[in-house]
Structure 1
């Protein structure tokens, strides 16, 4: 998969994962719960994940909760930290 296409895929996965657990990453950044460079780092972690197909399957399950991220998610800690700040 070309680099740009892979990057777009993982940006979408990350954004969709955030939405699935009730989080808006842009709003988190605006409110100071997440720095823009942290979002960039999270995208890099996501692009290095060997399980994007499993992530897409998880996303198809519908709405979840903040603690509902799959164990394999490389951004689970970041999502949990930001979720705790936003609540």
Structure 2
């Protein structure tokens, strides 16, 4: 299983943002359209973000038609991934 035990909150938030866009990050790595290094970069950006409380609140109300909020440091990368998926 793919995960980031050293950054569980950032991993969960990154996966949550991706899910809203219909992207399954572990599957993306297994299927080869996202590298493990690129996934690590997404999680690292999330971990460095100061908006975790706002992110958690946003994810609690997000729907499958939502796009990541402007404060998300992974917004552009996740939107690109959703187009490739």
TM over 0.5: same fold? yes
Higher mean C-alpha displacement, 39-48 vs 67-76: 67-76
Write 1 or 2 for the structure with the bigger share of helix.
1
Compute the displacement of 1:31 (Å).
Answer: 2.6
Question: Structure 2 matches for 1:1-87, cutoff 5 A?
Answer: 7-65=7-65, 68-86=67-85
Q: Please identify runs of 4+ aligned residues in structure 1 that moved more than 6 A.
A: none
Compute the displacement of 1:78 (Å).
Answer: 1.1
Q: 1:61 to 1:26 in 2, by over 3 A?
A: same
In 1: Cα distance, 2:5 partner to 2:33 partner: 28
Q: 1:26 to 1:57 in 2, by over 3 A?
A: same
**Aligned-CA RMSD value:** 2.0
Superposed CA offset, 1:45-81 (max 9, x none): 000101000000110004233x610001101111011
TM-score by length of 1: 0.82
Q: 1:28 to 1:13 in 2, by over 3 A?
A: same
